[in-house]
């Protein structure tokens, strides 16, 4: 039976919003990490981020120079999926939120990764039972849902699908602990899990209020931050996590439910069409230039 101490190499698929920070987090926790992406540009950005972030942590006195250098030495960035996944004990997939792409990826991961390797997805909305049957090891597949920014946010939702074994869930929970995270186990799959269901209710209500001209996004954020003690309001949070992602998630939901209340709000559509996706494009609900 695989134990947490047997896990030496972690492979992170996707160097985007979540993957680059999950990689650094795992390297800081002592794992050898290979971060894989189809885009060399994304990998270069992820590597630059790791170097800058670790240097800043040393300057801030949060890490010793030795700890930072060791973490950097444990990180490899590669476009080569075979190199990234070969010899991996644990895989965290954080690629784009597209079911077909994930199913193809998991079928490749199943072929390349050692038979003992656990295959997890960081997907926020695609439950792992929709992916697990693309592999011959459905009992070793589950969701491990991190939050943005992954180096800071403590929570990871560990979501069991009907085929996930107890051993896999235990390993995922143990890994959370080793990464310095707090794992919360969800015994059944549900669309949006716990946090995004609550967050979506807040976000949709905030968009409704802005669409109706009741208050501006800035005013709504000010209200939420100062009344509820949230670290940032729903609009600033959308800028952080990506307005494109918010739109795509809404559209996916709407396509499935055909319920008008799931339709992206007019303001969200406008931002999406203008490609004002938030921090990553320097403009979203706020300007960052
Ligand atoms: N990456 C890494 N570290 C970051 C960071 C980033 N983007 N932004 C801030 N930090 C770190 C800083 O280095 C600092 O660390 P230390 O205290 O150890 O030095 C710490 O976070 C606080 O930073 P700041 O003082 O600069 O800024 P802040 O106090 O305003 O905090 C924040 C920034 C952590 C992002 C905070 O505003 C926050 O917690 N916001 C809410 C984030 C949230 O709700 N995330 C969940 C999103 S939902 C999701 O992720 C689900 C999904 O499926 C997409």
What pLDDT digit, counting tens, does each position of 196-247 carry?
999 999 999 999 999 999 999 999 999 999 999 999 999 999 999 999 999 9
Would you say the CB of residue 198 lies under 6 angstroms from ligand 1?
no
Interval 119-169: pLDDT, tens: 999 999 899 999 999 999 999 999 999 999 999 999 999 999 999 999 999
Of 121, 62, 66, nearest to 97 by C-alpha is 121
pLDDT of residue 289: 83
Asked if residues 33 and 26 have their Cβ atoms less than 8 Å apart, the reply is yes
**What is the CA(53)–ligand 1 centre distance, in A?**
13
SS3 208: helix
Would you say the CB of residue 192 lies under 6 angstroms from ligand 1?
no
Would you say the CB of residue 70 lies under 6 angstroms from ligand 1?
no
Cβ atoms < 10 Å from Cβ of 32: 18
pLDDT band at 180 (very low <50, low <70, confident <90, very high): very high
Region at 180 (left for phi over 0; alpha for psi -120 to 50; beta for the rest): left
Residue 249 has pLDDT above 90, yes or no: no
Of the chain, the end-to-end C-alpha distance in Å amounts to 51
Cβ atoms < 10 Å from Cβ of 117: 23
Interval 56-102: pLDDT, tens: 999 999 999 999 999 999 999 999 999 999 999 999 999 998 899 99
**What is the CA(101)–ligand 1 centre distance, in A?**
29
CATH class for the domain made up of 4-186: alpha beta
pLDDT of residue 158: 98
How do the domains of the chain map onto residue ranges? 4-186, 197-279
Tell me what percent of the residues of the chain surpass a pLDDT of 90.
Answer: 93
pLDDT of residue 261: 86
Show Cβ contacts of residue 230 under 8 Å, excluding neighbours closer than 6 positions: 224
pLDDT of residue 131: 98
Show Cβ contacts of residue 38 under 8 Å, excluding neighbours closer than 6 positions: 79
Asked if residues 160 and 189 have their Cβ atoms less than 8 Å apart, the reply is yes
The residues carrying an active-site annotation are: 124, 145, 157, 196
pLDDT of residue 275: 98
Fold of domain 197-279: 1.10.1040
């Amino acid at each position: 039976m695989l134990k947490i101490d047997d896990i030496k190499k972690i492979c992170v698929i996707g160097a985007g919003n979540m993957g680059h920070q999950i990689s650094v987090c795992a390297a800081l926790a002592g794992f050898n990490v290979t971060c894989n992406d189809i885009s060399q540009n994304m990998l270069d950005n992820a590597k630059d981020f790791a170097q800058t972030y670790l240097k800043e942590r040393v300057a801030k006195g949060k890490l010793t120079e030795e700890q930072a250098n060791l973490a950097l030495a444990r990180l490899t960035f590669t476009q080569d999926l075979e190199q990234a996944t070969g010899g991996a004990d644990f895989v965290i997939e954080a690629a784009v939120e597209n079911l077909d792409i994930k199913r193809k990826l998991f079928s490749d991961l199943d072929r390349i990764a050692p038979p003992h390797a656990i295959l997890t997805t960081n997907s926020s909305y695609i439950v792992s039972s929709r992916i697990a049957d693309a592999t011959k090891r459905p009992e070793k597949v589950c969701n491990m849902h991190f939050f943005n920014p992954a180096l800071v946010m403590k929570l990871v939702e560990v979501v069991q699908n009907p085929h996930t074994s107890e051993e896999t869930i235990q390993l995922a929970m143990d890994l959370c602990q080793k990464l310095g995270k707090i794992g919360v186990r969800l015994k059944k799959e549900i669309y949006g899990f716990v946090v995004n269901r609550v967050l979506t209710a807040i976000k949709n209500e905030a968009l409704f209020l802005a669409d109706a001209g009741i208050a501006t996004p800035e005013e709504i954020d000010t209200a939420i931050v100062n009344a509820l003690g949230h670290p940032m309001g729903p609009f600033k949070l959308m800028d952080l996590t990506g307005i494109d992602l918010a739109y795509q998630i809404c559209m996916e939901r709407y396509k499935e439910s055909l319920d008008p209340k799931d339709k992206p709000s007019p303001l969200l559509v406008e931002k999406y069409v203008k490609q004002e996706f938030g921090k990553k494009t320097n403009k979203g609900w706020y300007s960052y230039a």
